[in-house]
Structure 1
Amino acid sequence: MEQVKHFFGVLLLAVALWMLQSVLPGAVSMLLWGGLLLVSAVYLRVFDSLHAGARGWARFFKGVGVVLAVLGVLQLVGAASGGSDPWQPLRHLAARGDTPSAAAGVRFQRVASVEELERVVAAAGRPVMLDFYADWCVSCKEMETFTFSDPRVQAALSGALLLQADVTRNSPQDRALLRRFRLFGPPGIVFFDAQGREVEGVRVIGFQSAERFLHSLAAAGLRP
């Protein structure tokens, strides 16, 4: 029973951290995940030697503890070296100097105000995709990691101008951009045609897998 209590205690902490992750800085989330994983590994006695007559279950939990310890160390190393993505804690080390989206193979042009957005869209002369992003947005990180990195998605977006509004700071300009499209916050993706008109009924709100996002792109007139 004690082990069951410990398991559900760790599970409750993990759920709480998952919920707080959307409002915490990425590095802080990584530090907390690293600490939780390492403490869990300690409870599984990963640093204790197995006795000679250890049974299968003892060896199994020892292996689980080793995996948790490695994952925890990766989170701590990632946070200490400037990372902010718990999904890929060391990705930034291989992509120094690039934005997260550029490292994933999708390059966005940033827009900071409604006026700048309208000017850029009017002059684009091609389809436009506007992505609302924030550093604390978990679904935005998932889109970068699992969706924008897909070669099929990149091919479908190759003919469009890709704009991104970073609303991390929640400045007056950020709030004005969100109000312009009646959005409460990221993630949100809006599409425009080559004439600068919004493509109605094809907004993407929340995370979409690569497969589902390809259908959204096709509805917006963007195909590989």
Structure 2
Amino acid sequence: ALGLFRPAAPGVLNSVARAAGLIAAVWGVLLLIGVSLDAVSPWRPLAPLARPSVAANGASSFAAVPAAVVVDNAALEIAVAQAAAKSRPSLVYFTAEWCVSCRVMEREVFQNGEILAQLGAIDLIEVDVTQSTPEVRDLLDRYGVVGPPTMIFLSRTSKEAADSRLVGEVSARAVLASLERAGAAE
């Protein structure tokens, strides 16, 4: 295409067409490499090489912050009780593997340095709602969650902090404000 593989012909237009063809071919190769690395942006196909990998085995999506991953009421109650016993606020984060907005949040908000620093002062509890089981539907109903991503910020006494719940894609500033309302910000 654009004369990249044809013999060179004289003229400025031919040279521009060949250069454009070369650029398109190189970009195509970079996109193929990016797809193989699970890149999410066509404008940054090699970005996965620059960031730490995220565990795909059910471990926390926040590589630097340990999290309890729960899928039912009993496990969630235990995780919240453990946070309260340590007198620590907690973030209950409803997420799913199929949730595109969750991946955006994890990539753009939860990798923010200020957020990571604050997450160290709380107990992070991930509620995996990937599968639509009766237990998962009970969890969603119990907490009034329509779907992921939803973040519920609990105080040191396991009560939801006033005006702190976040639903959908939000900014790092909104997460920091909710963490402060829950008593996590120092």
State the TM-score, normalizing by the size of structure 1.
0.65
* Partner residue, 1:56: 16
1:74·1:90 contact (CA, 8 Å) conserved in 2? no
1:86 to 2:40 alignment:
yes
Letter in 2 for 1:107: P
Letter in 2 for 1:210: A
* Partner residue, 2:99: 137
* Partner residue, 1:71: 31
3-state SS of the aligned residue for 1:208? coil
What's the offset of the Cα at 1:184? 1.8
3-state SS of the aligned residue for 1:101? coil
* Partner residue, 1:213: 175
1:122·1:195 contact (CA, 8 Å) conserved in 2? no
What's the offset of the Cα at 1:208? 1.9
Letter in 2 for 1:213: V
Larger Rg: 2
2:60·2:68 contact (CA, 8 Å) conserved in 1? no
Aligned-partner Cα distance in 2 for 1:118–1:221: 20
Following TM superposition, the consecutive aligned residue runs of length 4 or more in structure 1 with deviations greater than 4 angstroms are: 87-98
The structure-2 alpha-carbon separation of the partners of 1:57 and 1:209, relative to structure 1 and needing over 3 Å to count, comes to farther
Aligned-partner Cα distance in 2 for 1:164–1:89: 23
- 1:151-199 deviations in whole A, cap 9, x for unaligned? 2101111111100011111111111111112222101000111111111
Aligned-partner Cα distance in 2 for 1:146–1:46: 37
What's the offset of the Cα at 1:93? 8.6
3-state SS of the aligned residue for 2:162? coil
1:132·1:189 contact (CA, 8 Å) conserved in 2? yes
3-state SS of the aligned residue for 1:130? strand
The structure-2 alpha-carbon separation of the partners of 1:59 and 1:47, relative to structure 1 and needing over 3 Å to count, comes to closer
* Partner residue, 2:44: none
Structure showing the higher helix proportion among its residues: 1
Work out which of the residue numbers 49, 56, 70 in structure 2 matches 1:111: 70
RMSD: 3.0
The structure-2 alpha-carbon separation of the partners of 1:152 and 1:74, relative to structure 1 and needing over 3 Å to count, comes to same
Number of residues of Structure 1 aligned to a counterpart in Structure 2 = 173
What's the offset of the Cα at 1:58? 5.3
Aligned-partner Cα distance in 2 for 1:59–1:109: 52
Q: Structure 2: any 5+ residue segments left out of the alignment? A: 42-46
Letter in 2 for 1:165: V
Aligned-partner Cα distance in 1 for 2:123–2:90: 5
Aligned-partner Cα distance in 2 for 1:194–1:221: 7
3-state SS of the aligned residue for 2:116? helix
Percent identity (aligned): 30
The structure-2 alpha-carbon separation of the partners of 1:70 and 1:100, relative to structure 1 and needing over 3 Å to count, comes to farther
1:174 to 2:139 alignment:
no
* Partner residue, 2:83: 124
Aligned-partner Cα distance in 1 for 2:132–2:154: 24
The structure-2 alpha-carbon separation of the partners of 1:165 and 1:58, relative to structure 1 and needing over 3 Å to count, comes to same
Aligned-partner Cα distance in 1 for 2:3–2:17: 16
Letter in 1 for 2:34: L
